[in-house]
Structure 1
Amino acid sequence: MAAPQSSSSSVKSQYHHFIPQFILRNYAHVRSPKRRGRGKWHSSGEALHVIDLSSDNPELVESPVRRTFGLTDMYRDFARVSDQQYLEKELSKLEGNAARIIVGIRKAFESGHQDVWIKRHERDSLRKFLFIMKYRGKGFHKRFVGDGMKGYVEDDKELFLKYMREKGFKKPVDVWYHSIKTILELKMDLQGNWVKKLLDGIYRDDAMWFIMHTEFMYLSLCTPSEADTEFLLTENCYNVFEGPQTILRDPKTGQSRFVSWTNFHEFSPISPKLLMVLRSFILPNPEEDKNEGIRKWRENIYKMALGPHANPRAANSILADLPIHKPRNSYSSVSSQGIELLEGEDGSRRSNHRFCFPFFKISTEQTNKINTIFLDNAYRYQTVAFTSRPALKATLEYYLTLPPSQGFKKVGGETNDVQLSYLLKLEKILRKLGSNKKLVYQLRSAELTDDVIFEFMGDMLTKNLPEQPTEFMQLYMKLGGNAETLAKDLDQTRRMINLRIQIDVCTQGLREIKRQDIREKLRDHFCQLVPPRRLWLYLKQIRLMSLKGPASLQTELDQEYGDGPEDIIVKVILFAQKI
Structure 2
Amino acid sequence: MPEFKNSPSSVHDLSTTMSAAISSSPIPLKDQYHHYIPRFVLRRYQPEGAPQFASAKKRNLAIQRARKQGIELEQIYVYDFPSESFDTLPIAKTYGIQNLYRDVKDPKDANYLEEKFSELENTAAEVINIVHKTLENGIGIVTLKRSQADSLRKFLFLMHYRLDTLSKTYFDKNHPENAPARDWIAKFVKDHGLATDIEAWIYGLRYFLDTPHSQIIQDAYKHMEKWGMVALMEMMSTRVDPDVENFYTLAYFGHARSRFLCIWEAADGMEFVLTKNSFGLWEGRIMGGEGAHRLFTISPRIVLVLSHTVLRPDCRPPGIHLDSAFRDIPLNTPIASYGSMLTEDLTLLLKYTNSPAAANDEFHYPMTKLSPNQTFVVNRVFLKNVQPEGLLTFSSKEKVLPTLRRYLEDPPTPNDVQHTIPKFKKLVSYISTDLAGSCHPPSPAAPPAQTSLESSSTKSNFLGVKRGFLNKGSSLSSSARI
- Common fold by TM > 0.5: yes
**Is 1:213 aligned with 2:255?**
yes
Task: Report deviation, 1:387.
Answer: 0.4
Aligned to 1:422: 420
Equivalent position of 2:296 in the other structure: 268
- Give the gaps of 5 or more residues in structure 2: 1-23, 52-68, 225-243, 434-463
User: Is the partner of 2:310 in helix, strand or coil?
Assistant: coil
Q: 1:98 matched to which residue of 2?
A: 124
Aligned partner of 1:231 among 257, 272, 284: 272
Q: 2: distance between equivalents of 1:423 and 1:431? A: 12
Distance, in Å, in 2 between the alignment partners of 1:272 and 1:236 is 15
Looking at CA atoms only, which structure, 1 or 2, has the larger radius of gyration?
1
Counterpart amino acid of residue 34 in structure 2: H
**Mapped partners of 2:164, 2:377: distance in 1:** 23
Map 1:369-384 → 2, pairs under 5 A: 369-384=377-392
| Offset at residue 284 of structure 1 (A) | 5.1
Give 2:214's aligned residue: 189
Deviation at 1:396, TM superposition (A): 1.5
CA spacing shift, 1:383–1:499, aligned 2, 3 Å: closer
Cα separation, 2, equivalents of 1:363 and 1:388: 19
2:77 touches 2:88 (CA, 8 Å); kept in 1? Answer: yes
Distance in 2, matches of 1:70 and 1:421, equals 23
1:509 partnered with 2:472: no
Aligned-partner SS, 2:45: coil
Separation in 1 of the partners of 2:155 and 2:118? 11
Pairs within 5 Å for 1:393-432: 393-403=401-411, 409-411=413-415, 420-432=418-430
Is this contact kept in 1: 2:29–2:102, CA < 8 A? no
8 Å Cα contact 1:221/1:274 also seen in 2: yes
Q: Secondary structure at the match of 2:75?
A: strand
The RMSD of aligned alpha carbons is 3.6
- Counterpart of 1:367 (choices 375, 378, 400) is 375
Per-residue Cα deviation, 1:353-377 (whole angstroms, up to 9, x for no partner): 1011222101121111111111222
TM-score, normalisation: structure 2: 0.69
* 1:197-246 deviation per Cα after TM superposition (whole angstroms, max 9, x unaligned): 799664x3x433321111111001111122x2101111111232111399
Q: Which residue of 1 aligns with 2:21?
A: none
With normalisation by structure 1, the TM-score equals 0.58
Does 1:356 pair with 2:358?
Answer: no
Query: How is 1:525-536 mapped onto 2 (pairs within 5 angstroms)?
Result: none
In the alignment of these two chains, the number of paired residues is 377
Separation (CA, whole Å) in 2 of partners of 1:189 and 1:504: 25
| Equivalent residue number for residue 15 of structure 1 | 33
Q: What residue identity is the alignment partner of 2:382?
A: F
Distance 1:82 1:329, change over 3 A: closer
Q: Distance in 1 between matches of 2:43 and 2:204?
A: 28
Deviation at 1:8, TM superposition (A): 3.5
Equivalences for 1:425-464 in 2 at 5 Å?
A: 425-434=423-432
1:143–1:154 CA contact under 8 A, matched in 2: no
Corresponding residue to 2:42 among 19, 24, 30: 24
- Measured in 2, the distance between the counterparts of 1:428 and 1:379 equals 16
User: Against the structure 1 CA distance between its residues 499 and 211, is the aligned structure 2 distance closer, same or farther, given a 3 Å change threshold?
Assistant: closer
Residue in 2 that maps onto 1:108 = 134
Cross-structure match for 1:459: none
Give deviations 1:409-457, integer Å, cap 9, x for gaps: 233xxxxxx872222211211222239xxxxxxxxxxxxxxxxxxxxxx
Partner of 1:45: 73
Question: SS state of the match for residue 106, structure 2?
Answer: coil
SS in 1 for 2:295: strand
User: Which letter maps to 2:211?
Assistant: L
Shift of residue 498, structure 1, vs aligned partner? 9.0
In 2 relative to 1, CA 49–191 (structure 1 residues): closer, same or farther, beyond 3 Å?
Answer: closer
Q: Using a 3 Å threshold, how does the CA distance of structure 1 residues 59 and 245 change in structure 2: closer, same or farther? A: farther
Shift of 1:125: 1.0
Identity of aligned residues (%): 26
2:309 and 2:475 in contact (8 A); partners too: no
Secondary structure, counterpart of 1:505 in structure 2:
coil
Write the distance in 1 (CA, Å) between the matches of 2:214 and 2:290: 28
Distance in 2 separating the partners of 1:8 and 1:198: 39
Per-residue deviation, residues 163-211 of structure 1 (Å, max 9, x unmatched): 1344323322222222222222222338952325799664x3x433321
Of 182, 196, 200 in structure 2, the residue corresponding to residue 175 of structure 1 is 200
Shift of 1:18: 1.3
1:60 aligned partner, one-letter code: F
Match of 1:135 among 124, 138, 161: 161
Between the aligned partners of 2:402 and 2:179, the Cα distance in structure 1 is 42
> Structure 2: which amino acid aligns with 1:322?
I
